[in-house]
């Protein structure tokens, strides 16, 4: 049941015929796990909190540095040295005090990630390193949860939805696309430039896909696609993803047992 205050707050969203009051109630009853509170996590969580997601779980072990501020738009100059999850929680609550926010101030073990994923309706991979991305993919696949993944570096971004809640997984998983824990390229990424609005665009795509998936009976996008964004020529390209039969996570020879 929506309160009068909630009805007024979300009226421009509720009057979208694909959402309606029923969709808004579904958002209110939803839990989203956001792993990583950098540029992607800031952008996605600002929109998800504003949209009325009932519960957000924010995961990050970092403190805010001055070099984060050009792209991690939830943080203020005065937040330097503060924990990212603390500052982000404060900002999201200021926008929408009615949402419930829980914080995890550390890198999760596999067991804790299993538990948090089990309690969430959707998982957003907003992290900045390949080993964590592979771990999130493994856990979401095992628990049949929808994983919304994005990354951005330089002027480029990529976005994919892995809907492990569907029986058909013709599009495979994150490991089918990137079958490695590439530490070397990760080190290069840390030193590389990145354009703030490109990160914001990708984070907003994550929020948009999550809102659709959580609130609507029908999803209008194809979740078996890899979307690439080029911030220099302002173009998106989309490619169909395919399951790799020998994938260690989702392939036919995988030892994984889905929950
Ligand atoms: Zn796979």
| Tens digit of each residue's pLDDT (9 = 90 or more) over 3-25 | 999 999 999 999 999 999 999 99
CA of 196 to the centre of ligand 1 (A): 30
Residue 255 domain flag = no
Residue 59 pLDDT > 60: yes
Using pLDDT thresholds of 50, 70 and 90, give the confidence band for residue 187.
Answer: low
Mean pLDDT of the region 87-96: 98
Mean pLDDT of the region 88-108: 97
What is the DSSP code string of 75-107? --GGGTTSBHHHHHHHHHHHH-TTSEEEEE-SP
CATH code at 150? 3.40.50.720
Residue 1 domain flag = no
Using pLDDT thresholds of 50, 70 and 90, give the confidence band for residue 186.
Answer: low
Helix/strand/coil percent split, the chain, to 5: 40, 20, 40
Q: Which domain holds residue 103?
A: 13-240
Kindly give the interhelix angle for 110-119 and 130-142, rounded to the nearest 10 degrees: 50
**Active site positions, annotated:** 189
Element at 123 (helix H, strand E): strand 122-125
CA of 93 to the centre of ligand 1 (A): 37
Residue 65 domain flag = yes
CA of 180 to the centre of ligand 1 (A): 12
Residue 208 domain flag = yes
pLDDT the model gives residue 165 = 87
Residue 249 domain flag = no
In this structure, the strands spanning 156-163 and 146-153 are antiparallel
Asked whether the beta carbons of 237 and 227 are under 8 A apart, the reply is yes
CA of 138 to the centre of ligand 1 (A): 9
Residue 259 pLDDT > 70: no
Q: Could you read off the pLDDT of 197-229 as tens digits, one per residue?
A: 999 999 999 999 999 999 998 888 889 999 999
Residue 101 pLDDT > 60: yes
Using pLDDT thresholds of 50, 70 and 90, give the confidence band for residue 248.
Answer: very high
Q: How many distinct helices (H) and strands (E) make up the chain? A: 10, 8
Count of domains for the chain = 1
Q: Which of 189, 190, 163 is nearest to 174 (CA)?
A: 163
As residues whose CB is below 5 A from the ion ligand 1, the structure lists 172-173, 175-176, 247, 249-250
Residue 248 domain flag = no
């Amino acid at each position: 049941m929506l309160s009068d205050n909630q009805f007024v707050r979300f009226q421009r969203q509720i009057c979208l015929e694909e959402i309606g009051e029923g969709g808004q109630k579904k958002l209110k009853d939803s839990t989203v796990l956001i792993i990583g509170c950098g540029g992607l996590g800031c952008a996605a969580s600002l929109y998800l909190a504003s949209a009325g997601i009932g519960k957000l779980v924010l995961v990050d072990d970092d403190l805010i540095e001055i070099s984060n501020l050009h792209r991690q738009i939830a943080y203020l100059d005065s937040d330097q040295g503060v924990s990212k999850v603390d500052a982000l929680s404060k900002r999201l609550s200021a926008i929408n005090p009615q949402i419930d926010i829980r914080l995890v101030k550390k890198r999760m073990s596999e067991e804790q990630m299993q538990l948090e994923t089990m309690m969430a309706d959707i998982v957003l991979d907003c992290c900045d390193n390949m080993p964590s991305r592979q771990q999130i993919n493994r856990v979401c696949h095992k628990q049949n949860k929808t994983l919304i993944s994005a990354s951005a570096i330089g002027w480029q971004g990529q976005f994919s939805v892995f809907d492990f809640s569907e029986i058909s997984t013709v599009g495979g998983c994150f490991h089918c696309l990137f079958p490695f824990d590439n530490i070397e390229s990760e080190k290069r990424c840390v030193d590389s430039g990145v354009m703030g609005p490109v990160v914001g665009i990708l984070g907003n795509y994550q929020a948009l896909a999550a809102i659709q998936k959580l609130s609507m009976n029908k999803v209008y996008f194809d979740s078996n696609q890899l979307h690439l964004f080029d911030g220099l020529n302002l173009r998106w390209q989309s490619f169909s993803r395919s399951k790799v039969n020998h994938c260690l996570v989702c392939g036919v020879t995988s030892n994984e047992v889905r929950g």
